[in-house]
Amino acid sequence: MPDVIKKTPITISEVKELVYSRWSENLSSLIIDQRKLFEYLSKYDKVSSAKEAREAVKRLVEDYGIKEEDAIMLVDIAPEKKDEIMAYLYRGYPLLGEKEYEA
């Protein structure tokens, strides 16, 4: 087994792109667990591309000072209401004001 060189958190969209690029040539020969992974990724991927997901993460980190892991969670979940965002971020960012949640 290769040594782990670096761990990097990635979005569901990025996982989907990575997995698809490695397995797309042999879709018919995938085992059931691999097929289920494809189904899961397709069902829960809410961003149109890995590039768009990464750009959204970058904006959240740079513009709002949110940790990368939290930004990835927000991009993956894609909350639609301010209350949902507040629920996800309150523990790590209890002092964010209304202004930040409105943006």
Per-residue pLDDT of 21-76, as tens digits, reads: 888 777 778 889 988 998 899 899 999 899 999 999 999 999 988 999 999 999 99
Whole-angstrom CA distances from 85 to 22, 41, 50, 69, 81 are 34, 22, 21, 14, 7
Report the alpha-carbon distance of residue 31 to residue 54 in Å, rounded.
29
User: For residue 93, what pLDDT band results from cuts at 50, 70 and 90?
Assistant: low
Q: What is the pLDDT of residue 95?
A: 56
pLDDT top residue among 57 and 98: 57
Q: What is the pLDDT of residue 86?
A: 82
Contact residues for 71 (Cβ-Cβ < 8 A; gap 6+): 56, 57, 60, 61
